[in-house]
Amino acid sequence: SGLGYQSSSISFLFTLCNKNGYRPEKLPLRDPLDEYAIWDDTRYGPVFGSFGDLFIVDNAGGNEGSYTWSQTYARPQGAPSDGECDVFAGKYRFTPDEMEVFHEVVD
C-alpha cells in the first residue's frame, strides 16, 4: 500500500527462543493506540515500531543492516531499558537467516 506508519491496536512481537536466555514472551504495544505500530515501505522488509523495534532491511541475508531498537513494543522481563536491543538476535545489528510470521487467531 502506501509509504508511512500504520496504526494498530492489536499488533505485537514475540520471542520464542533467543541467545540471551529471555523466556518466550508476547510483547504488546506499550500504548495500544500507537500510530507507529508498523512502517509500510516497499524498500524494506517488515518494520515494526517507531524507531524500528524490529527493522529488517532489503536483502537482509547479505548484510548486518537489520536491527532491533526498543521503543514502541514492550521488552521481555529482565531486558535492559529502551534503546539498542539484543532480545531477538542476541545483538543490536544482525543478519537474519530465517524469519517466521504468525497470525494470532482469537476466539
* Residues 3-49 pLDDT 10s: 889 998 888 998 887 778 888 889 999 987 789 999 988 888 889 99
Q: Domains in the chain: how many in total?
A: 1
Q: How high is the pLDDT of residue 2? A: 67
Q: Is residue 103 assigned to a domain?
A: no
What is the value of pTM for the model shown? Answer: 0.84
Q: Is residue 11 assigned to a domain?
A: yes
Q: Is residue 106 assigned to a domain?
A: no
Q: Which residues, in sequence order, are CB contacts of 37 under 8 Å at separation 6+?
A: 5, 6, 7, 8, 11, 29, 48, 49, 72
pLDDT tens, position by position, 48-64: 998 889 999 989 999 99
For the record, the C-alpha cell of 15 comes out as 520471542
- Structural domain boundaries, residue 57: 1-94
| Per-chain mean pLDDT for the chain | 86
Q: Which of 71, 5, 7 is nearest to 33 (CA)?
A: 7
The beta strand positions in 7-107, using DSSP E, are 12-15, 25-28, 38-40, 47-48, 54-55, 66-67, 69-70, 83-84, 93-94
